[in-house]
Amino acid sequence: MLGISSTLLAASVLTDSAIEHYRGSFANPAMFVPPVVSSLLILSNANGSADTRKAAQLLAGTVGTAGLTFHLYNIGKRPGGYGWLNFFYAAPFGAPAALSLAAVLAFAAGGIETSQDMLGLPIGQALGGIVSIGLAGTVVEVALLHFRGAFQDPFMWLPVSLPPVASLLMAKAALVPGSAEWLTRGWLWTTALLGIGGVGFHAYGVSRNMGGWGNWSQNLLNGPPLPAPPAFSALALAGIASLDLMEARRR
């Protein structure tokens, strides 16, 4: 399940960064890096040797961290600096972190058989904390973009209301393993379904642009991003895997 969540998150980064950077005409050669590195991570997850997987994970983690720094620098150098307008319309500041998260999930998936600890904690609890932070960061990113869209559709409130609860429940499960686990698991599955449903809502949003899907080459670039919602599904699956690991440790 961790391997699937890592691959799904990397696929989200691959398609989203490819579309967004194509929209930016790949003005900076570094914009080619995220699609290439996320592709390498997906391939290594599917059929790579242990050394290949570790190299891809290290590369993806490094590129994700560097991308986060670069996006923040890009926002700061625009007229007005770190103001709301630039956070709305500049490069999404938190997006590159998804690649680092995908690398961490792949690392955990490959290390379960050899180590039951991660970051000095039982691996299930450590992953639970990471998933909680990842969900919270994704919610912040979505909140900014949906606020920019004026929450014109009532369903736009769902990804800023359901996943925050999942993040809090995941944090509690990581701190106090076994507490209200059934509720946490159920809320994570709901969040996973929300990610799948979000693709449908975004596809509908694309169709509402002038020309609809008949003008897909333009509307895919300017409409709501189709690859973004599955990030919630990927993190929710990782959260469920962390609960399974915590339960296995108590046996």
Residue 113 has pLDDT above 70, yes or no: no
Element containing residue 171 per DSSP (H, E): helix 162-175
DSSP for 180-208 reads THHHHHHHHHHHHHHHHHHHHHHHHHHHT
Residue 54 has pLDDT above 90, yes or no: yes
Q: Are 99 and 10 in contact (CB under 8 A)?
A: yes
Residue 97 has pLDDT above 90, yes or no: yes
Q: How far is CA 242 from CA 31, 133, 168, 177, 250, in A?
A: 33, 14, 15, 10, 13
Q: What confidence category does residue 59 fall into, taking pLDDT thresholds of 50, 70 and 90?
A: very high
Q: What confidence category does residue 169 fall into, taking pLDDT thresholds of 50, 70 and 90?
A: very high
Residue 140 has pLDDT above 90, yes or no: yes
Choose among 183, 147, 141: nearest CA to 165: 183
Angstrom distance (rounded) from CA 178 to CA 185: 11
| Residue 172, pLDDT score | 95
Residue 251 has pLDDT above 80, yes or no: no
Tens digits of per-residue pLDDT, 200-242? 999 999 999 899 999 998 999 888 999 999 999 999 999 999 9
Lowest pLDDT segment from 65-69, 115-119, 121-125, 205-209: 115-119
Average per-residue pLDDT for the chain = 92
Residue 63 has pLDDT above 70, yes or no: yes
For range 33-37, the mean pLDDT: 97
| Residue 91, pLDDT score | 83
